[in-house]
Structure 1
Amino acid sequence: MANVIITGCSRGIGYELARLFAEEGHQVLALSRNDGPIADLGHPNISSFPFDICNSADLEKLQSFLNKNWEAVDILINNAGKLENKPFLETSREDFESVYSVNVFGLAELTRIVIPYMPKTAHVVVISSMGGVQGSMKFPGLAAYSSSKGAVITLTELLAEEFKETGPSFNALALGAVQTEMLAEAFPGYQAPTTALEMATYIKDFALKGHKHYNGKLLQVSSSTP
């Protein structure tokens, strides 16, 4: 059984991921600013505490948890994300910084903390977006969000190269439309063909097995536009 860290677990894909891993017997550390929904599950295989990926004190709390409770981390799923949907001319520097603080800087800092606990066979999965894939269809209003998702795709490739001798493996999944609250923020009224549970099931299986076949790769997981 694996020790799994998942960010962004208060709703949607992250919540379903935590539940699925726990039900299979894996030990899960489910991190989100609001840990109420996960705590309400009361699952014995899930640990959680309120966690802001941009807060240095919370990052220290994560390191303390690992030192006290886990000898190793087998899977890290960087799922937490922040979205701003507004025209570019109305998107301020503060808007960009807010999105990048979660989607890029917070992700990078958390990954830096967790890597020393990860053996060569471990796997880091970065949840990106089709909006961050070069050459994919783009949509107005998502300049900060989609560009940040492009940044973490490149970061994934760089980390895979830097740690290719010692591990862990790094891969990015660029998701298409999934029926979540974040999708509703980006595309109000749009009905996605994929549920959060369906996508979480795919991501769980990929996190457990994908590193045997991929490292430093971007996989596009989308059946629709958006």
Structure 2
Amino acid sequence: MKTIIITGTSRGIGAELVKQFAAEGHTIISLSRNSNPELENLPNVYYKSVDLSNDASVAAFAVALKDQFKNIDILIHNAGTIINKPFAEISSADFEYVYKVNVFGVAALNRAVLPLMGNGSHVVTISSMGGIQGSSKFPGLAAYSSSKGAVITLSELLAEEYKEQGVAFNVLALGAVQTEMLQEAFPGYQAPIYPNEMAVYIKDFALNGNRFFNGKVLEVSSSTP
């Protein structure tokens, strides 16, 4: 059984991942700003309120984590935020917030968790097809898609930097999934994949993908977007 940190667990894919990993008997550290009552009574699930856009919140979590757990096997960066606005209307504050959650928060959490990760551990970052160079791009997603491209490069660099430690870093660039976040950004759009279906794929990849991949970006999309 693995000890697994998952971010963005209050809803969508993150909540499904917690349920599926817990059903298999793994120990889950569930991170989000808001709790999900449906997950609170699951066995071996530890909820921690963490704001990834806030350095102090991540630092406090890092201290508590080292006091309670000796090692982490898998870290899944699932949390994310999106802003859908024309570029001319996106403020510097908008851009900064998106990057704080989607990029800087990922980097900060990596710094907090990597001292507890050893040979054979796996960091999986959930990105987007919008962050893939040469993929179709959509108006209104300048902040979001550029942040998802940045986190891809970050993961590639960390795979090289931590290869001697035996920690694998991989990215899953997802296409459209029928989540609350997608509906908020694109009201009325119907995605072909549901959160529970995507969670099955991510769970299996997190458990086994590091045997075959390191420093790689896998495009997981049956449609565009």
TM-score, L = length of structure 2: 0.97
8 Å CA contact retained: 2:119, 2:166: yes
Q: Which residue of 1 aligns with 2:157?
A: 158
Instruction: Structure 1 unaligned segments of length 5 or more: list them.
Output: none
**Alpha-carbon distance between aligned partners in 1 of 2:38 and 2:114, rounded to the nearest angstrom:** 24
**Alpha-carbon distance between aligned partners in 2 of 1:186 and 1:85, rounded to the nearest angstrom:** 6
| Amino acid of the structure 2 residue aligned with 1:216 | G
**Alpha-carbon distance between aligned partners in 2 of 1:212 and 1:86, rounded to the nearest angstrom:** 40
Instruction: Structure 2 unaligned segments of length 5 or more: list them.
Output: none
**C-alpha deviation, 1:175, in angstroms:** 0.1
8 Å CA contact retained: 1:28, 1:45: yes
Q: Which residue of 1 aligns with 2:87?
A: 88
Superposed CA offset, 1:128-176 (max 9, x none): 0000000000000000000000000000100001111112100000000
Cα gap change, 1:68 to 1:38, in 2 (>3 Å): farther
Q: Which residue of 2 aligns with 1:208?
A: 207
When the two chains are superposed, the root-mean-square deviation of aligned CA atoms in Å is 1.1
**C-alpha deviation, 1:119, in angstroms:** 0.7
**Alpha-carbon distance between aligned partners in 1 of 2:125 and 2:25, rounded to the nearest angstrom:** 23
Q: Which residue of 2 aligns with 1:14?
A: 14
**Alpha-carbon distance between aligned partners in 2 of 1:145 and 1:10, rounded to the nearest angstrom:** 20
Aligned residues: 225
Q: Which residue of 1 aligns with 2:166?
A: 167
Residue identity over aligned pairs, in percent, reads 62
8 Å CA contact retained: 1:177, 1:225: yes
| Amino acid of the structure 2 residue aligned with 1:177 | A
4+ aligned runs moved over 6 Å, structure 1: none
**Alpha-carbon distance between aligned partners in 2 of 1:225 and 1:200, rounded to the nearest angstrom:** 19
**C-alpha deviation, 1:68, in angstroms:** 2.1
The 5-angstrom pairing of residues 56-135 of structure 1 reads: 56-135=55-134
**Alpha-carbon distance between aligned partners in 2 of 1:97 and 1:175, rounded to the nearest angstrom:** 23
Cα gap change, 1:118 to 1:180, in 2 (>3 Å): same
**Alpha-carbon distance between aligned partners in 1 of 2:99 and 2:123, rounded to the nearest angstrom:** 19
**Alpha-carbon distance between aligned partners in 2 of 1:224 and 1:97, rounded to the nearest angstrom:** 29
**Alpha-carbon distance between aligned partners in 2 of 1:189 and 1:37, rounded to the nearest angstrom:** 27
8 Å CA contact retained: 2:7, 2:31: yes
Q: Which residue of 2 aligns with 1:33?
A: 33
Q: Which residue of 2 aligns with 1:223?
A: 222
Superposed CA offset, 1:88-118 (max 9, x none): 0001111100100000011100111101100
| Amino acid of the structure 1 residue aligned with 2:130 | G
| Amino acid of the structure 2 residue aligned with 1:127 | I
8 Å CA contact retained: 2:11, 2:36: no
Deviates more, 1:54-63 or 1:79-88: 54-63
